[in-house]
């Protein structure tokens, strides 16, 4: 098996920089998520703790990947294989698998908390969590058996028996991750469409939850590279490793988007900068609509009202009173129970 690292497009330093930036971004989102829960309900929930844990495992995955990339470079240069090298191979597979599972768990737990009044939501969410855990962890067993350096002669034959198993695990994790992201994308759709809300407000909620599309795209691209490696059409490279890091980060970010919406409504729109920006945009749009026209004063005033409403919908999705109700629903599942159609 050829073991090469193609640094033509990506160097280890670039990998480190991008990974550290992703960790910083997900950490900020996790903090905002926890702040929103504490600010609105004076407590943290299971999905909040899982998000924090996901960031910790994301950082751990980056650290072990860093050493794994160094190991691959040493192997490519025919450097001696040590027990530490074997342990790094095993550790990167286990930590990355666990990080990927934990990153996708918070959004499913959040669905149970928000939409748990629907039994099928609870059933699908818990089944997905359990199934993916079994696959993610179960697929790692061959790596632990084949790649453990204890009691083995660490030579080319050892690598030939070990590294293909890491490719198998990567493929299994990639397929499972894509299935999970598709499930995460589908779950909220029928629930939101069953709410007794106007279509405009349903669209606002959909915008929050369909960010799961980003997770599907990330998982699909990552799976593509894993398939290419599995088929032997390319050697092990840094790019698939980075894509796994990106996939983990996007899963954490997607799970934090509903909390970010609450943070926006509670804090950011009350800042002076937001008010000035909104007024400036409103003035610009109003001026453009009045230029070159023969509208009356009343017509200009009406244009200003329409423009302001458009900006409000663009930035806030829903009216202020309803946004409070939706924020409460984000914290207390039963608060939205009366808004379901009961047919």
pLDDT at position 323 is 38
Phi, psi at residue 340, to the nearest 5°?
A: -90, 145
**pLDDT band at 17, cuts 50/70/90?**
very high
Beta-carbon count within 10 A of 301 CB: 12
Q: What is the mean pLDDT of residues 319-326?
A: 36
Reply yes or no on whether the pLDDT at 152 is more than 50: yes
Are 65 and 19 in contact by the 8 Å Cβ rule? The answer is yes
Of residues 28 and 159, more confidence is placed in 28
8-state DSSP, 117:
T
Of residues 77 and 221, more confidence is placed in 221
**pLDDT band at 46, cuts 50/70/90?**
very high
Are 86 and 154 in contact by the 8 Å Cβ rule? The answer is yes
| HSE of 278, CA atoms in CB hemisphere, 13 A | 19
Question: Closest by alpha carbon to 110, among 97, 91, 128, 98?
Answer: 128
Reply yes or no on whether the pLDDT at 26 is more than 70: yes
pLDDT at position 99 is 92
Q: Helix 238-266 crosses helix 12-41 at what angle (to 10 degrees)? A: 30
For the ranges 23-32, 238-247, 275-284, which has the lowest average pLDDT? 275-284
pLDDT at position 269 is 47
**Separation in Å, CA 98 to CA 4, 133, 210, 322:** 26, 8, 25, 38
pLDDT at position 313 is 36
Token pair 């030939």 in the structure block, residue: 160
For the ranges 42-56, 85-99, 173-187, 228-242, which has the lowest average pLDDT? 228-242
| 155-173 pLDDT, tens digit each | 778 877 787 888 888 888 8
pLDDT at position 127 is 95
Q: What is the mean pLDDT of residues 53-82?
A: 85
Separation between Cα atoms, residue 133 and residue 97, nearest integer Å = 9
Separation between Cα atoms, residue 102 and residue 106, nearest integer Å = 7
Q: What is the mean pLDDT of residues 244-249?
A: 92
Question: Closest by alpha carbon to 9, among 18, 22, 30, 293?
Answer: 18
Reply yes or no on whether the pLDDT at 270 is more than 70: no
pLDDT at position 260 is 73
């Amino acid at each position: 098996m050829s073991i090469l690292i193609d640094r033509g497009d990506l160097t280890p330093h670039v990998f480190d920089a991008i990974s550290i930036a992703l960790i910083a971004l997900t950490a900020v989102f996790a903090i905002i998520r926890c702040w929103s829960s504490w600010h609105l309900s004076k407590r943290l929930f299971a999905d909040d703790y899982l998000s924090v844990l996901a960031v910790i495992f994301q950082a751990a995955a980056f650290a072990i990947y860093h050493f794994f990339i160094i190991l691959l470079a040493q192997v490519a240069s025919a450097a001696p294989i040590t027990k530490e090298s074997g342990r790094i191979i095993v550790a990167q597979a286990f930590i990355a698998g666990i990080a990927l599972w934990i990153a996708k768990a918070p959004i499913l737990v959040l669905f149970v908390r928000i939409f748990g009044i629907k039994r099928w939501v609870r059933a699908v969410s818990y089944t997905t969590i359990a199934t993916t855990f079994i696959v993610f962890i179960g697929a790692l067993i061959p790596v632990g058996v084949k790649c453990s350096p204890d009691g083995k002669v660490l030579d080319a034959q050892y690598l030939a028996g070990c590294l293909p198993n890491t490719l198998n695990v990567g493929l299994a994790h990639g397929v499972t991750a894509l299935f999970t992201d598709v499930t995460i994308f589908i779950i909220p759709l029928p629930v939101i469409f069953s709410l007794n809300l106007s279509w405009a407000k349903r669209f606002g909620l959909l915008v929050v939850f369909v960010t799961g599309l980003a997770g599907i795209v990330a998982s699909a691209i990552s799976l593509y590279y894993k398939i290419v490696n599995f088929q032997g059409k390319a050697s092990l490279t840094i790019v698939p490793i980075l894509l796994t890091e990106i996939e983990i980060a996007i899963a954490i970010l997607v799970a934090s988007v509903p909390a970010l919406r609450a943070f926006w409504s509670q804090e950011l729109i009350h800042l002076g900068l937001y008010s000035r920006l909104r007024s400036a945009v409103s003035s610009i749009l109003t001026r453009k609509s009045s230029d070159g026209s023969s509208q009356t004063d009343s017509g200009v005033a009406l244009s200003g009202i329409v423009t302001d409403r458009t900006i409000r919908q663009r930035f806030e999705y829903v009216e202020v009173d309803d946004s409070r109700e939706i924020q409460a629903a984000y914290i207390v599942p039963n608060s939205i129970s009366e808004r379901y159609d009961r047919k």
